[in-house]
């Protein structure tokens, strides 16, 4: 651990269970049970029956690892969901119910589990990778969140952002007017042409609200890369938001609405490729889930921006100058472990000629930064999030690299916040920006 790291105690908030809608406690329980049972298909039932309580999932969870508290064992976070399955739908449900071996779900239990399902889980999927029984615990966590959403039991901070995305089209209030003004400002500052609302384009580009608000340089960076690749491309004011807070709250309706805007925009401009920016959960939501919610195969391919850059490097369309830097790379959980885009950033880094120092357990088994899954936006979870981040600091320091890069704006935002909290001297950098600053001029 670097001598530059000091630790500040975080203020511990009083526990609370946030509530939305005007449902009674019993109506909340009924809504959760109904959704739990709706989500109990053959695969879910098999998972529920397969757990052998070995504890391996606990050893790879950053929240359990840093606290040693057994309540943070990933499989335990599913207890209300499992309780309903065993009592109402399992093969021996009549026994569980008759002997009360699994109690009927209560409103108090749901309230207590809000902390475990949202505040202390980034849905990073590390637990799923090591389960000896092949249980996809992360997906079950998402299904359990479905029930919590239907019961109106989502952390208020996160719910408000998701509601704003549903009502206004963006969780941070990035309206089409704001997008247009941002594009005009970037065009003027950097002398770039950023096409908006083209009727036809090979590539539809999407953006993340966090980039526009916190890292506006990302728009000029991606424009430079797109212009060198030589595709006809566009942004669309009727579908530009990649971040999907419906996924984070696990409202299927809200998640579908966000994805559908991008789908409609891509179809409208006849795009054959949709590019997702440096946004891990946005990539996961659109690349792997949008078609299912849409109800049919999509008429275009979906690439993370790092995949597009890696493809450009392999085909010779994207040429970069060598960079004399010692770097390490943080793999975002949602685009790497859960999304499959693990090798693409390494292809890009190799082309840049950097001296890459991999972190311990880099790649698909990389430790989560602790802010994903909506946790970064839940203020009461800050203390726990900071504890989880200590693992990431140790990883970065152990790499011995001078600079840190990643390809997810949510991860960068969490790194920025945690670095300020700990007075840490490592600043996260964008891989996209590194490429844009080192393009070979035509």
Decide which of 3.30.450, 1.10.260, 1.10.1060, 3.30.565 is the CATH code for 25-153: 1.10.1060
* Comparison of pLDDT for 169 and 442, the residue scoring more: 169
- pLDDT for 42 beyond 60: yes
| C-beta neighbour count of 266 within 10 angstroms | 23
Provide mean pLDDT across the span 145-174: 95
Is the CB of residue 204 less than 8 Å from the CB of residue 419?
no
Is the CB of residue 155 less than 8 Å from the CB of residue 378?
yes
What CATH architecture does domain 158-312 belong to? Up-down Bundle (1.20)
Is the CB of residue 198 less than 8 Å from the CB of residue 232?
yes
Mind listing the pLDDT tens digit for each residue in 249-277? Answer: 999 999 999 999 999 999 999 999 999 99
| CA neighbor of 152 nearest in space, from 304, 319, 247, 25 | 25
The residues spanned by each domain of the chain are 25-153, 158-312, 316-436
Is the CB of residue 339 less than 8 Å from the CB of residue 385?
no
What is the largest distance, in Å, between two alpha-carbon atoms of the chain? 76
Distances (CA, A) of 287 to 19, 132, 189, 244, 273: 31, 27, 33, 12, 11
| Residue 205, beta-bridge partner list | 275
- pLDDT for 321 beyond 90: yes
Provide mean pLDDT across the span 371-390: 96
Q: State the pLDDT at residue 441.
A: 86
What's the rounded Cα separation, in Å, for the pair 271 and 40?
36
Mind listing the pLDDT tens digit for each residue in 54-77? Answer: 999 999 999 999 999 999 999 999
- pLDDT for 14 beyond 80: no
Per-residue exposure over 123-160, b if at least 16 CB sit within 10 Å of its own CB, e if not: bbbbbbbebeeebbbbbbbbbbbbbbbbbbbbbbbbbb
Question: Structure tokens of 174?
Answer: 């990035």
Q: State the pLDDT at residue 259.
A: 97
* Comparison of pLDDT for 23 and 2, the residue scoring more: 23
Q: State the pLDDT at residue 13.
A: 39
| C-beta neighbour count of 198 within 10 angstroms | 17
Q: State the pLDDT at residue 257.
A: 97
- pLDDT for 11 beyond 60: no
For residue 328, how far is the Cα from the chain centroid? 20
Q: State the pLDDT at residue 8.
A: 42
Provide the mean pLDDT of the chain. Answer: 94
Provide mean pLDDT across the span 201-213: 95
Q: Phi first, then psi: give them for residue 352, nearest 5 degrees.
A: -75, -15
Q: State the pLDDT at residue 216.
A: 86
Share of the chain above pLDDT 70, in %: 96
Q: Grade residue 15 by pLDDT with cuts at 50, 70 and 90.
A: low
- Give 380's DSSP letter: G
- pLDDT for 39 beyond 90: yes
What's the rounded Cα separation, in Å, for the pair 378 and 364?
26
Q: What is this structure's pTM?
A: 0.93
- pLDDT for 10 beyond 50: no
What's the rounded Cα separation, in Å, for the pair 143 and 368?
20
Question: Structure tokens of 392?
Answer: 């990431």
Q: Grade residue 35 by pLDDT with cuts at 50, 70 and 90.
A: very high
Provide mean pLDDT across the span 18-42: 96
Provide mean pLDDT across the span 302-325: 97
């Amino acid at each position: 651990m670097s001598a530059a790291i000091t630790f500040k105690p975080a203020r511990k908030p009083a526990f609370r269970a946030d509530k939305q809608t005007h449902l009674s406690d019993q109506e909340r329980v009924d809504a959760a049970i109904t959704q739990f049972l709706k989500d109990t298909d053959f695969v879910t039932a098999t998972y529920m029956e397969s757990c052998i309580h070995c504890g391996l999932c606990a050893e790879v969870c950053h929240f359990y690892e840093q606290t040693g508290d057994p309540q943070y064992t990933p499989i335990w976070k599913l207890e209300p969901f499992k309780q309903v399955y065993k009592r109402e739908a399992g093969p021996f449900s009549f026994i569980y119910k008759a002997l009360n071996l699994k109690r009927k779900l209560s409103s108090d239990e749901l309230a207590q589990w809000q902390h475990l399902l949202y505040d202390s889980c980034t849905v990073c999927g590390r637990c799923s990778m090591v389960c000896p029984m092949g249980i996809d615990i992360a997906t079950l966590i998402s299904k359990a969140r479905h029930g919590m959403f239907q019961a109106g039991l989502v952390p208020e901070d996160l719910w408000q952002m998701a509601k704003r995305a549903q009502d206004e089209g963006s969780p941070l209030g990035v309206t089409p007017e704001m997008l247009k003004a941002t594009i005009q400002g970037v065009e003027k500052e950097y002398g770039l042409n950023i096409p908006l609302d083209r009727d036809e384009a090979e590539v539809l580009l999407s953006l993340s609200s966090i980039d526009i608000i916190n890292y506006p340089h990302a728009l000029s960076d991606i424009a430079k890369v797109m212009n060198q690749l030589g595709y006809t491309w566009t942004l669309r004011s009727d579908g530009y938001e990649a971040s999907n807070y419906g996924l984070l709250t696990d409202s299927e309706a809200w998640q579908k609405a966000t994805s559908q805007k991008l789908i409609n925009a891509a179809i409208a401009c006849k795009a054959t490729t949709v590019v997702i920016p440096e946004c891990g959960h946005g990539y996961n939501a659109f690349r792997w889930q949008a078609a299912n919610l849409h109800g049919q195969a999509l008429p275009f391919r979906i690439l993370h921006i790092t995949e597009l850059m890696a493809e450009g490097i392999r085909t010779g369309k994207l040429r970069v100058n060598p960079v004399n830097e010692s770097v390490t790379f943080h793999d975002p959980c949602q685009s790497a472990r859960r999304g499959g885009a693990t090798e693409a950033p390494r292809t890009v880094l190799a082309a840049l000629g950097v001296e890459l120092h991999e972190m311990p357990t880099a790649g698909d088994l990389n430790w989560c930064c602790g802010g994903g899954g909506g946790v970064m936006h839940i203020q009461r979870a800050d203390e726990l999030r900071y504890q989880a981040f200590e693992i990431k600091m140790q990883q970065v320091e152990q790499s011995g690299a001078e600079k840190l890069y990643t390809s997810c704006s949510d991860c960068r935002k969490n790194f920025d916040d945690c670095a300020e909290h700990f007075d840490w001297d490592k600043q996260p950098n964008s891989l996209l920006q590194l490429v844009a600053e080192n393009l070979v001029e035509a």
